[in-house]
Amino acid sequence: MPTVPVLDTAFFRHWLELAADTVRRESARLTELDSPIGDADHGTNMDRGFTAARLAVLQDPPQSPGGLLVAVGRTLISSVGGASGPLYGTALRRAGLTLGDAPEATPPELGEALAAAVAAVRELGGAEPGDKTMVDALLPASQAYTGALADGLGVAAALDAAAGAALAGAEATVPLLARKGRASYLGERSIGHQDPGATSAALLVGCLRDAAEARPGADGPGADGQHADGPGADGPEERR
């Protein structure tokens, strides 16, 4: 049977490694997107935050997926300037608290954590879909993931659907009028630019998909996405 990823601490640690590498690689593009409608520092800020988060997790390794996400969120809040730190940090902390202290998350629990992260961003920033913010990538991703699971797809396919929806949502911000954040001060001049926050959100969701592709579990899943060998089943840790 096809293998599926084990959503344990090692999975989320691998996601963090992929996220830190991806944000660093895309830093210049994120800053370029931020230049006409923001402070021209989104890429720099995100790179600094995820570099700090990677170091924090290395120095004090969390023992659960929830603990890791809370640690990353806390670090982003303390190390990233502007609105990105509080928004991403709060989102990840809320996702981690939703997962709790369990050593492994089930696919539906990951869906609950994604939904909680979106809710946290909307509460903190007051953004609605169509406001040209990271919500325009995160909300479709969460909905696509949950919808894919409801259709009977596995977690890897559901994360692939989430990543595709997030990317499409980010690209769809180009013709939108910004209604939140610094970009909203530009009025109609914000139209025609892709939102940098939605773009970085799509990158992070894409890293969840990539982590799932890189780290399958042991034996085939049961109906609930669990594995015959249970938590901790061996699987390749590195994508390359």
Where exactly are the structural domains of the chain?
9-214
Three-state SS for 221? Answer: strand
Higher pLDDT, 3 or 146: 146
Higher pLDDT, 27 or 185: 27
Average pLDDT across the chain, whole number: 88
What pLDDT sits at residue 53?
A: 98
Contact 91, 32 (CB under 8 A): no
What pLDDT sits at residue 38?
A: 83
Three-state SS for 207? Answer: helix
pLDDT at 121 over 60: yes
- Taking the chain, what is the end-to-end CA distance rounded to the nearest angstrom? 23
Contact 201, 170 (CB under 8 A): yes
Q: Which of 133, 136, 135, 165 is nearest to 148 (CA)?
A: 165
Q: What is the mean pLDDT of residues 124-133?
A: 93
Q: 20: which residues sit within 8 A by CB, 6+ positions away?
A: 50, 51, 53, 54
In DSSP notation, 57-99 reads: HHHS--SSHHHHHHHHHHHHHHH--TTHHHHHHHHHHHHHHHH
Q: 78: which residues sit within 8 A by CB, 6+ positions away?
A: 52, 85, 89
The 3-state secondary structure of 124-152, one letter per residue? HHCCCCCCCCCHHHHHHHHHHHHHHHHCC
| pTM, full prediction | 0.87
**What is the Cα Rg of the chain in Å?**
17
Residues 22-71: tens digit of each pLDDT:
999 999 999 999 898 888 899 999 999 999 999 999 999 999 999 999 99
d(CA 178, CA 133): 8
Contact 42, 185 (CB under 8 A): no
Token pair, residue 73, equals 């969120």
For tokens 């061996």, what's the residue? 234
Q: What is the mean pLDDT of residues 147-154?
A: 98
Cβ-based neighbour number of residue 226 at 10 Å = 16
d(CA 167, CA 184): 22
Please say whether the structural domain 9-214 has been given the CATH code 3.10.20.90. Answer: no
Cross-strand partners of 216: 5
